[in-house]
Amino acid sequence: MGDTQTSSKDKEVKAKESKDKGFGKEEFRAGGDVSKSKKVQRNSTLGNTEGAEKEGKGISRKKKEKLTKRENPDADLEDFVRAAQIQVKVEPEEEDFCINKKDKVKKRLREQEEPGGSLLESAKKKKKVKMEVEEAEQEPEKQRKKKKESKVKKAKKEQEGRPVSAREGGKHKKSKEEVEAAKALKIKKKEEEELQRWRWWEEEKYEDGIKWKFLEHRGPWFPAEYQRLPDNVKFYYDGKLVTLSSAAEEVAVFFAQMLDHEYTTKEVFRNNFFSDWRKEMTLEEKMIITDLNKCDFSEIYKMHKEKVEARKNQGKEEKQKTKDANQKLLEEYGYCTLDHHRERIGNFKIEPPGLFRGRGDHPKQGMLKKRIQPEDVIINCSKDSKIPQPPLGHQWKEVRCDNTVTWLASWTENVQGLCKYVMLNANSKLKGEKDWEKYEIARKLKSCVETIRTQYQADLKSKQMGIRQRAVALYFIDKLALRAGNEKEEGETADTVGCCSLRVEHISLHPELDGEKYVVEFDFLGKDCIRYYNKVPVEKAVFKNLKLFMEDKQPGDDLFDRLNTAMLNKHLHSLMAGLTAKVFRTYNASITLQQQLKELTNALDNIPEKILSYNRANRAVAILCNHQRAPPKTFEQSMANLQAKIDNRKEQLSLAKKELKQAKKDAKDHADDKLLANVFMLHAKETVDKCPWKMNCISLQMLNRTANCQLTSCSCMALLYSNRPTAVRECRKMEVSLEKIYNKTQRDKFAWAIDMTESDFVF
């Protein structure tokens, strides 16, 4: 893989360099007055920016050293990153295949017309065949080995004169008929589910902007009101007992419940909490409680821990009760009727009050998230639907009927003043349609991406600084899948950036680094305060432009001072309808997935190997998109456990080898007891055969887990960006059951892709 990439990358760089010949700083300066234009107001339009004075923007900001930067990824992961970046440029060779909705509908209609086969019947047949294939696929070595094991056991028992019965230890074993019946029931349930599925992708779409014609729901569910602490749980201030008012006590409980968390050690969190807590206190309480450090929440904390522990140790019955209650709640509030179809609601519960958990160094972390009342909630539903009833004694803020939006209820939260929505689940029509649309736009980009690249390459030499900045930003978005980088209000959120909001301090230029020319080193905090660290060789023209953009600027100044996301997207719109910076992320993730799957998968591999390849392909996408997570707390322990398992197997293997040798000898020596000797021989041989295979499995597991340690879940990646039809196509081509790659929720979510994708689909 590496060789092809390197060579293609070299070619690319050389080709670009030859294009760049003759392009230099002097020529650029002659084209536009850069020294003047550097002081241009950031938001000026591209056309009239030259020479204007920069105002207010690019004020030097303190580099926030305390931000929770993630550790540098491992060196091999960095290599993988580079590899993945190069992948982005490699285009697949196959012809485009377009999902043809009309053809699909026609196909189904044909099936419907076929004699002796209704639509439902044909779907049933199709499903049955599919399931039979999958079942056969799932009958692997494991089951064969189980059978073999049971045979050995049976032989042993018979040898010992013990009876082999269906009942052992008095436990009822399912009869063959019962097993068959359970199987049939499962299949039937699956079929019914499939038949009930709303195949919205086969229906006509509504006119532009209309999201639904009928919407009915029960309104959101509200968390229970606060219950006072039991009398034996006390709060102390400066060693003295203080009985808090209900409002102050509730907020104190929020804090006490978080005492285990790092948040409560952060100064900003503590200050914000204390300030908001005091707002909930009575005058008397305010007079007494003046210093958070003197507050003793230990009894509340202890009570909370005990509650958590008790919940963990609930008996079966209690657990079932809780489960049933949740199910009831879901049935009652978790579904709505949208255009005569029952659709699951994604978040029907109103967010409970608590302390705001802003990420990184969010300036508002620790502030009180107030309890939402029905009076804060706007309900959206059909006029002719049954209007949801507010909880007793309350009323809604407003009931409206707006079928141009997809939300069912909304409210404004108090911390950031943002709107929150109750929306449908990911497997709903409304979400699915959007998803489908997203991939269609990304596919459309494929057909014109080369033109766009040619255009921004040319723009790198533009006389206008703004256009050059736009070209460099686009180059990064395309090559590195950076996010657009909207402007944010200073002091309102954590100091994170995207492409357009990069500052001088976020990049370092290296004319030469580790044997590569024109290397740009990125180091900034992106979305969710996830660190983006990358060293990327770029084209000479890009490098020179960056050098120019950074001249006479302070570290805290904007790198692209004449560009913002609105300008960038406006330009992208002019190149292709519906194109925005975000589309490049989807596009490049899809291309990378397809390319990686093509390179890594081998039709001759076994199923675990194919799954590993699929995970590797997804990992490449995760690296490209810089999807990271904190390493799981149990990571080190679980790796040690796996290593212990391998060691154990090694011992087992050497023992089994000795046993096998002995058993062979015994079989020769004791011809009279051949059966017993054979049983032992079989057993030892099986262990000898099995151990290396198991050890290999554990090694693969370790490899997979190490690589995944700081990356988001692989299937998650495939769901977010990578093209669903691509993954579906690959599974079918490689004869890997979709169940092995995606869980039920995920399969439900992109049922449209599963249904529409043929095995020859190409992104």
Partner DNA sequence: GAGGGGGACTCAGAAATATACCA
Partner DNA sequence: GTGGTATATTTCTGAGTCCCCCT
Question: Among all residues, which ones are annotated catalytic?
Answer: 721
Q: Which of 190, 359, 444, 733 binds DNA (CB under 7 A)?
A: 359
Q: Which of 64, 190, 349, 733 binds DNA (CB under 7 A)?
A: 349
324 binds DNA (CB under 7 A): no
# residues contacting DNA (CB under 7 A): 92
Instruction: Give the integer Cα–Cα distance in Å for 588 and 581.
Output: 11
| Segment interacting with DNA, rule: CB under 7 A, options 281-289, 510-518, 574-582, 597-605 | 574-582
Are 293 and 259 in contact by the 8 Å Cβ rule? The answer is: no
Are 355 and 252 in contact by the 8 Å Cβ rule? The answer is: no
Instruction: Give the integer Cα–Cα distance in Å for 33 and 47.
Output: 14
Are 365 and 356 in contact by the 8 Å Cβ rule? The answer is: yes
Q: Region of 212 please: left (phi>0), alpha (psi -120 to 50) or beta.
A: beta
Instruction: Give the integer Cα–Cα distance in Å for 570 and 192.
Output: 47
| Segment interacting with DNA, rule: CB under 7 A, options 120-128, 181-189, 296-304, 523-531 | 523-531
The minimum distance between CB 378 and DNA, in angstroms, equals 8
Near DNA in 22-61, by CB under 7 A: 43-45
367 binds DNA (CB under 7 A): no
Q: How far is CA 499 from CA 38, 345, 468, 470, 502, in A?
A: 18, 34, 14, 10, 5
Find all residues with CB under 8 Å of 103, minimum gap 6, and list them. Answer: none
Taking Cα atoms as reference points, which of 506, 516, 533 lies closest to residue 73?
533
Chain CA centroid to CA 317, Å: 34
Which residue lies nearer to DNA by CB, 222 or 518? Answer: 222
167 binds DNA (CB under 7 A): no
| Segment interacting with DNA, rule: CB under 7 A, options 124-132, 465-473, 555-563, 631-639 | 631-639
Instruction: Give the integer Cα–Cα distance in Å for 171 and 182.
Output: 18
Which residue lies nearer to DNA by CB, 90 or 583? Answer: 583
Find all residues with CB under 8 Å of 286, minimum gap 6, and list them. Answer: 278
User: Distance from first CA to last CA of the chain, Å, rounded?
Assistant: 21
| Segment interacting with DNA, rule: CB under 7 A, options 178-186, 386-394, 524-532, 591-599 | 524-532
Which residue lies nearer to DNA by CB, 21 or 312? Answer: 312
For residue 712, count other CB atoms closer than 10 A to its CB. Answer: 18
745 binds DNA (CB under 7 A): yes
Near DNA in 693-712, by CB under 7 A: 701, 705, 712
| Segment interacting with DNA, rule: CB under 7 A, options 270-278, 292-300, 487-495, 752-760 | 487-495
655 binds DNA (CB under 7 A): no
Written as one letter, the residue type at 30 is: A
x/- mask, DNA, residues 239-268, rule CB under 7 A, reads: ----------------------x-------
Which residue lies nearer to DNA by CB, 165 or 232? Answer: 165
The minimum distance between CB 440 and DNA, in angstroms, equals 13
Find all residues with CB under 8 Å of 528, minimum gap 6, and list them. Answer: 359, 360, 496
412 binds DNA (CB under 7 A): yes
Are 565 and 484 in contact by the 8 Å Cβ rule? The answer is: yes
Q: Which of 220, 388, 466, 526 binds DNA (CB under 7 A)?
A: 526
Largest Cα separation within the chain, whole Å, is 104
The minimum distance between CB 530 and DNA, in angstroms, equals 5
507 binds DNA (CB under 7 A): no
Q: Is 237 helix (H, G, I), strand (E, B) or coil?
A: strand
Q: Which of 463, 629, 685, 690 binds DNA (CB under 7 A)?
A: 629
Near DNA in 177-216, by CB under 7 A: 211
| Segment interacting with DNA, rule: CB under 7 A, options 154-162, 271-279, 481-489, 598-606 | 481-489
Task: Supply φ then ψ for residue 5, to 5 degrees.
Answer: -65, -45
Q: Which of 61, 101, 488, 732 binds DNA (CB under 7 A)?
A: 488
Written as one letter, the residue type at 32 is: G
Chain CA centroid to CA 360, Å: 19
Near DNA in 65-124, by CB under 7 A: none
Q: Which of 347, 373, 508, 706 binds DNA (CB under 7 A)?
A: 347
Instruction: Give the integer Cα–Cα distance in Å for 476 and 495.
Output: 20
Q: Which of 286, 713, 737, 755 binds DNA (CB under 7 A)?
A: 713
Q: Which of 197, 278, 446, 645 binds DNA (CB under 7 A)?
A: 645
Instruction: Give the integer Cα–Cα distance in Å for 579 and 482.
Output: 15
Q: Which of 369, 429, 503, 571 binds DNA (CB under 7 A)?
A: 369
The minimum distance between CB 606 and DNA, in angstroms, equals 16
Near DNA in 413-472, by CB under 7 A: 413, 415-416, 418-419, 421, 423, 430-431, 434-435, 438
Are 367 and 355 in contact by the 8 Å Cβ rule? The answer is: yes
Structure tokens that stand for 316 in this block: 């079966």
493 binds DNA (CB under 7 A): yes
Q: Is 19 helix (H, G, I), strand (E, B) or coil?
A: helix
| Segment interacting with DNA, rule: CB under 7 A, options 84-92, 528-536, 655-663, 725-733 | 528-536
62 binds DNA (CB under 7 A): no
